[in-house]
């Protein structure tokens, strides 16, 4: 058979050609470097544009919320102004004034209680301390007055045991004002009170100063509802601060009415809020408890001196909007282009004199670039940032209260509005995991202790259970007045997904549900029982670095699953575990690499020279025997992989098995064609030189394509 030959002159590169190649490679390296810088710049701009889009959306929501809140305050102000107009323009009777107050309270949105308080003898001599009021939803008496309980005209004395009267005297001196918020026991919520002084001539004198005040109370629970309706993913929440940094709206109701300057030592988050408040409309900081990136927004509420604050977790917001990662990893592509440029520059230092060697040089160069790219992609997948496996993550009490605000049907008997009352506390648990072991790919054994607080009685059996457990053994450790401690050993089913093996990260989910008296109760973690709630500090694991065979523990945290139809919640303790890559590389990846290398060695034996054929023993039969042996090794490894994982669907690593199968089949078929009388130029040219040069570039191209399809 006549083969195409290339002359020695065609194979040899002269000095001019070498210089041209070198200049071309250097120029290509320069272009690649410039392109990498452009991609880095574009990546930075994309990140800025993405975050700008999210922040603008939150700012718009904040502005709408402040508008609604401002309207709530303005309605109260306008209602008192309407009462003032009616009092000053008409001489109303006692009955008419009481009816006016009742109508105003009932028709003004958010109003809880209102009244008119006259100075002594300014309304009617027969009623020296005239102070009628009306309270929504209360048993109002026909002639009830504030003066029935105490004399409000006495000067205020904060040191006296008498009821305070500053609410009457201060507005008369300073004019209309909002008083500091206070908790109304009748309203069972926090109250903001607006007071407006007024002039009248019921006593026949119109030039003797203010005759009294008009007051109207605003229930702040309505403001909390407005703030809770903000679309801030699951964990974001809003709050309202007065001019002196007093909280008048906050998910944790126990902190309402408190100045954050006084409680910042108890919660380091308030230090950040105070520090960020004066930095502008938007600021970024790391949350002191969960160590996540947080965005903090402030928006003034028109018509008041109050400020609306909005706190969101940046990563959760990006994940919710599908923007946690760009569609193309431009920064990774830029790094790869820089690497290619460097390799091109280095390749110019030792330039071959022969076209064949030049072809091999380019084959090795391309293969090296692709191999480094593949390793880079795998490293990114192995060491990438954690995504949000579970929604509704909670790290402190405010997260639980925020969740209940957004899902009010979960709070039995209005727990939120009674959070300050000791009897209404949720049942708190302290969970400590002592040991984890993988019994099977879908079952994990958990050994630990569980403490339950705020129990009304102490049952003989655990008031909690694990819904996903196949079997659980309990042992009572301790019982006190309202607390029980139990030790448990549970075999818990886990719906692991091994599709990304060996770069998989799984979430061990330990669901906790009440039974008996606790069946419909809200169960919350006892956050104060853990030194740190940061997921990377592994709260709930003791010791922190629990060893799971073949896995590494990465994070742990609590979360809730919400069932809207059943109107129930389920507390979960979650442990993120990442597979140790060393074992799968040795057990499964190494055989694939060895088979691919041996298949390439078979290609290197191709020859039609009798001397080489007799020396190497090359023939189609020999190649088929070698391919059959390699195929047998590969099948055993493949079956072992699926048995080990008990896999049902496709696994990431299986694509490489199929690719290696294709390699073996291709080598076998190509060898048969090569040794036959069929003439195929790409196979016959210089004993399969083209196939040998393209073998590894195509192999790594396949690997990169599979990786990109599965992980991007």
Measured CA to CA, the distance from residue 20 to residue 301 in angstroms comes to 70
- The stretches in the chain having pLDDT less than 50 are 1-10, 324, 326-327, 388, 413-424
Which CA distances in Å does 288 have to 153, 208, 247, 272? 49, 57, 20, 8
Instruction: Supply the pLDDT for residue 699.
Output: 92
Residue with tokens 């390439």, as numbered in its chain = 600
Residue 511 inside a domain? The answer is yes
What CATH number is attached to the domain comprising 495? Answer: 2.70.170.10
Tens of pLDDT, residue by residue over 455-464, are 777 777 888 9
**Is 268 found in the same domain as 405?**
no
Measured CA to CA, the distance from residue 682 to residue 673 in angstroms comes to 11
Q: Where are the alpha helices (DSSP H) in 299-329?
A: 314-320
Instruction: Supply the pLDDT for residue 226.
Output: 81
* Structural domain harbouring 277: 36-328
**Is 594 found in the same domain as 566?**
no
**pTM score, whole prediction:** 0.79
Domain total for the chain?
3
Tens of pLDDT, residue by residue over 359-371, are 777 888 888 888 8
β-partners of residue 472 are: 490
Instruction: Supply the pLDDT for residue 426.
Output: 67
Measured CA to CA, the distance from residue 115 to residue 105 in angstroms comes to 9
**Is 681 found in the same domain as 539?**
no
3-state helix, strand, coil in the chain (%, to 5): 45, 25, 35
**Is 79 found in the same domain as 156?**
yes
Backbone conformation region of residue 574, classed left if phi is above 0, alpha if psi is from -120 to 50, else beta: beta
Last residue of a domain, one of 302, 328, 354: 328
Measured CA to CA, the distance from residue 667 to residue 624 in angstroms comes to 9
**Is 237 found in the same domain as 98?**
yes
Instruction: Supply the pLDDT for residue 326.
Output: 44
Instruction: Supply the pLDDT for residue 608.
Output: 74
Q: Sheet of 212-219: strands edge to edge?
A: 133-135, 111-118, 212-219, 189-198, 177-184
Last residue of a domain, one of 539, 562, 580: 580
CB 119 within 8 A of CB 210: yes
**Is 134 found in the same domain as 242?**
yes
**Is 179 found in the same domain as 162?**
yes
Last residue of a domain, one of 279, 309, 328: 328
Tens of pLDDT, residue by residue over 618-629, are 777 888 888 899
**Is 65 found in the same domain as 214?**
yes
CB 548 within 8 A of CB 446: no
Instruction: Supply the pLDDT for residue 450.
Output: 92
Between helix 221-228 and helix 397-406 the angle, nearest 10°, is 90
Structure tokens at 239: 């709050």
Residue 520 inside a domain? The answer is yes
What CATH number is attached to the domain comprising 229? Answer: 3.30.450.20
């Amino acid at each position: 058979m006549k083969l195409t030959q290339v002359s020695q002159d065609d194979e040899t590169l002269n000095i001019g050609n070498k210089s041209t190649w070198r200049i071309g490679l250097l120029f290509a390296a320069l272009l690649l470097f410039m392109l990498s810088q452009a991609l880095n710049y574009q990546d930075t701009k994309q990140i800025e544009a993405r975050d700008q889009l999210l922040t603008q959306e939150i700012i718009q929501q904040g502005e709408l919320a402040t508008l609604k809140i401002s309207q709530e305050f303005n309605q109260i102000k306008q209602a008192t102004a309407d009462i003032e107009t009616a009092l000053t323009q008409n001489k109303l009777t006692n009955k008419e004034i009481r009816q006016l107050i009742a109508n105003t309270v009932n028709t003004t949105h958010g109003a809880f209680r209102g009244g008119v308080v006259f100075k002594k003898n300014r309304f009617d001599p027969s009623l020296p301390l005239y102070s009628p009021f009306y309270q929504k939803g209360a048993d109002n008496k026909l002639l009830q007055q504030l003066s029935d309980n105490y004399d409000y005209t006495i000067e205020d004395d904060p040191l006296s045991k008498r009821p305070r009267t500053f609410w009457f005297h201060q507005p008369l001196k300073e004019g209309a004002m909002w008083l500091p918020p206070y908790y109304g026991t009748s309203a069972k919520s926090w109250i903001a009170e607006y007071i407006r002084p007024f002039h009248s001539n019921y006593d026949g004198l119109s030039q003797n100063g203010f005759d009294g005040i008009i007051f109207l109370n605003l229930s702040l629970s309505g403001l909390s509802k407005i703030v809770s309706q903000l679309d801030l993913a699951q964990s974001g929440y809003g709050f309202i601060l007065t001019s002196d940094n007093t909280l008048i709206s906050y998910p944790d109701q126990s902190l309402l009415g408190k100045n954050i300057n006084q409680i910042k030592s108890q919660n380091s988050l308030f230090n950040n809020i105070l520090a960020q408040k004066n930095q502008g409309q938007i600021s970024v900081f790391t949350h002191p408890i969960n160590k996540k990136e947080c965005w903090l927004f402030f928006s003034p509420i028109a018509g008041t001196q109050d400020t609306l604050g909005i706190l969101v977790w940046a990563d959760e917001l990006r994940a919710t909007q599908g923007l946690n990662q760009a569609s193309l990893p431009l920064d990774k592509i830029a790094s790869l282009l820089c690497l290619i440029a460097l390799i091109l520059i280095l390749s110019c230092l030792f330039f071959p004199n022969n076209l064949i060697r030049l072809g091999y040089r380019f084959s090795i160069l391309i293969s090296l670039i692709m191999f480094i790219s593949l390793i880079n992609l795998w490293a990114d997948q192995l060491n990438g940032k954690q995504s949000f496996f579970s929604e509704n993550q909670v790290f402190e009490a405010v997260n639980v209260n925020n969740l209940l605000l957004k899902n009010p049907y979960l709070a039995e008997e209005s727990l939120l509005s009674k959070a300050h009352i000791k009897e209404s506390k949720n049942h708190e648990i302290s969970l400590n995991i002592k040991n984890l072991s993988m019994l099977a790919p879908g079952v994990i054994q958990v050994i630990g202790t569980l403490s339950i607080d705020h129990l009304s009685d102490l049952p003989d059996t655990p008031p909690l259970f694990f819904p996903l457990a196949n079997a659980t053994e309990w042992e009572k450790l301790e019982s006190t007045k309202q607390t029980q401690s139990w030790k448990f050993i549970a075999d818990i089913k886990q719906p692991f997904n091994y599709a990304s093996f060996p770069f998989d990260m799984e979430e061990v989910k330990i669901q906790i549900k009440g039974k008996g008296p606790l069946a419909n109760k809200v169960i919350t973690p006892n956050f104060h029982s853990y030194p740190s709630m940061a997921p990377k500090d592994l709260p709930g694991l003791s010791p922190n670095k629990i060893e799971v065979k073949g896995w590494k523990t990465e994070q742990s945290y609590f979360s809730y699953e919400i069932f809207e139809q059943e109107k129930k919640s389920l507390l979960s303790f979650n442990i993120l575990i990442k597979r140790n890559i060393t074992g799968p590389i040795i057990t499964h990846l190494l055989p694939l690499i060895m088979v691919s290398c041996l298949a390439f060695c078979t290609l290197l034996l191709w020859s039609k020279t009798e001397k080489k054929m007799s020396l190497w023993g090359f023939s189609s039969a020999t190649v088929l025997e070698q391919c059959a042996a390699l195929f047998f090794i590969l099948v055993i490894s493949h079956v072992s992989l699926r048995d080990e994982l008990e896999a049902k669907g496709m696994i990431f690593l299986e694509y490489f098995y199929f690719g290696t199968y294709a390699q073996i089949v291709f080598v076998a078929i190509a060898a048969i064609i090569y040794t036959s009388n069929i003439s195929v130029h790409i196979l016959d040219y210089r004993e399969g030189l083209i196939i040998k040069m393209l073998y590894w570039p195509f192999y790594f191209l396949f690997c990169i394509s599979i990786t990109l399809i599965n992980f991007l």
